[in-house]
Amino acid sequence: MIGNLETFQDELAASGFPPLVNKLAGAGFQGRIATRDLGPLRLVSLDTPESVCTGLADAADGRNLAVKVMIRGRTRIEQGRGDAELGPADLVLLDPTRAVRFESTAAAHVTVLVPRRELRIRPAQIDRLIGKRIDGRHGPGALVSVLARESARSASEFRSATGFRSASEFREVEALRSAAAVIELIAVALEARLGDEQPAPDEWLRNRIAGYIEARLADPDLSPLGIAAAHHISVRRLHKLFEDQPLTVAALIRRRRLERCRAELTGGERTVTAVAARWGFSDATHFSKLFKTTFGYTARALVTSNRALTTKTRTARAEQDGDDRDRQ
C-alpha cells in the first residue's frame, strides 16, 4: 500500500498513464498499484480511495489505447463525447492523448494498455467509442472483464516447457498467445458496442469492403484493383476511403492473412509452409520475416509451443488414466 500521493502518481506515470491530478486526496491517502506486462499489453491493477481526478491530454505518446475494467466500486468517466457510469465488471475505452475526468468511490480496477495497431480500430470509430460504457456482465464485454482480471493476476505465472532454447523463450511465446486472445476479445467487444450506432456512408462502405476482404483472404488474386471493381468504385476512391485508417487496403489484407495463419498454426497440425501457402504467401522466407516483424516471434516458435503443450497435456492425461486404473 502506498501512503503518499506523489509517490503513487509517479508510479502511475511510470506505468504509462498520463499525469493525473487528484482533487480529493488528503494526508490520509492510501493506494495500491501493480503493473505486469503480457506480450505487447501492459496490465495495471489499482486500488484507489474516493477520488475526483482530471488528466491532461498527453499527445506525446499516442501508441496505446486504454481499456479500464471495474472490479469494485463505481466510477464516472468523461472523455471526448462520452460520459460513462461504470459499476463492477463494466469497462470503457479511453485515449491517453485526450483530456479525461474521473469521479470515483473507493474502487479497484484493472487498466489494459493496448497498442493501437493491435486493435485495428479506425480513428472515426475511436471517436464514437471513447468514454462510452460497455456492459461487463453480458456478451463479449463480460469475457473481456473476466479475462482482464485473470490476466492481471496471473501474467507472471507462465510455465516452462521443453522444445525451446530456453524457458524464457517459451514464456514469451505463451504470453504473446495469451495477449492475442485478450486483444481479440477486446476487439469483438468494441465492435459489438459500435453495432449499436448507425455508421456514416463512408464508414458503411469501408465496413462492407472489410467484410468482402475477410471472406476472400484465401483468394491469391485478392487485390485493391479487384476489390474496387467488385464495389463499382475506382481504385483511387478505394484508397481515399482508407487514407485516415490505421492500415491501407493492401496492409489490411496482409495483416488479416497473417492473423489467420497465426490462428491456424496455434491450433492445427499443418506445416508452416502449408499454412502460409493456404493464405496467399507463396514465398516461405518472406512469410517468416513478415510474421516475425508483425508478432515479435517466429511462426516455427509458435508451432513448437503448440506441440510442446499438446505433448504435455497428453502425457498428463495418460498419467492420470494410469493412476485411475491403479486405484481401481
CATH code, domain carrying 230: 1.10.10.60
Q: How confident is the model at residue 246 (pLDDT cuts 50, 70, 90)?
A: confident
Res. 317 pLDDT band, cuts 50 70 90? low
Residue 120 has pLDDT above 80, yes or no: no
Of 134, 167, 194, the last residue of a domain is: 194
280, part of any domain: yes
Residues 138 and 274 reside in one and the same domain: no
My answer on whether 178 and 205 are in the same domain is: no
pLDDT at 76: 94
Same domain? For 164 and 253 the reply is no
Same domain, 157 and 212: no
User: pLDDT band at residue 107, thresholds of 50, 70 and 90?
Assistant: very high
pLDDT in tens, 185-198: 898 888 888 876 55
Whether residues 219 and 139 share a domain: the answer is no
**Amino acid (1-letter code) at residue 177:** R
Is 324 part of any domain?
A: no
Q: Is the pLDDT of residue 94 over 70?
A: yes
Higher pLDDT among residues 315 and 248, named by residue: 248
pLDDT in tens, 5-64: 888 888 888 887 777 778 777 677 888 999 988 888 999 999 999 988 888 766 556 788
The average pLDDT across 110-121 equals 85
Place of cell 501493480: 34
Task: Please check the confidence at residue 169 and state whether its pLDDT lies above 80.
Answer: no
In a domain, 157, yes or no: yes
The pLDDT value given to residue 2: 85
Do 65 and 37 have their domain in common?
A: yes
pLDDT digits (tens, 9 = 90+) for 201-220: 787 888 889 889 988 888 98
- Our count of domains for the chain comes to 2
Instruction: State the average pLDDT over residues 287-310.
Output: 83
Q: Reply yes or no on whether the pLDDT at 323 is more than 60.
A: no
Q: 65: domain CATH number?
A: 2.60.120.10
Full residue range of the structural domain in which residue 51 is found: 5-194
Give which of 153, 149, 208, 184 is closest to 263, Cα–Cα. 184
Residue 322 lies in a domain: no
**164 and 228 share a domain?**
no
pLDDT number for residue 311? 56
What is the spatial order of strands in the sheet that 41-48 belongs to? 32-38, 41-48, 107-115, 64-72, 91-94, 133-134
Among residues 177, 194, 211, the one where a domain terminates is 194
Are both 275 and 166 inside the same structural domain? no
State the average pLDDT over residues 149-160.
Answer: 58
Query: Residue 323 falls within a domain, yes or no?
Result: no
**Beta bridge mates, 83:** 78
Domain end: 165, 194, 223, which one?
A: 194
Domain identity same for 184 and 210: no
Is 227 found in the same domain as 117? no
321: in domain: no
Q: What rounded mean pLDDT belongs to the chain?
A: 82
| Residue with more model confidence, 166 or 194 | 194
The average pLDDT across 106-127 equals: 85
Of 8, 26, 30, 27, nearest to 17 by C-alpha is: 8
Model pLDDT, residue 166: 47
Tell me how far apart the terminal alpha carbons of the chain are, to the nearest angstrom: 51
pTM for the complete prediction? 0.60
* Contact (Cβ atoms closer than 8 angstroms) between residue 326 and residue 186: no
Residues 6+ apart with CB under 8 A from 2: 8, 11, 30, 31, 32, 33
- Classify residue 317: in a domain, yes or no: no
150 and 251 fall within a common domain:
no
**Average pLDDT in the 149-167 region?**
52
* Residue 104 shares a structural domain with residue 231: no
Question: Is there a domain that residue 328 lies in?
Answer: no
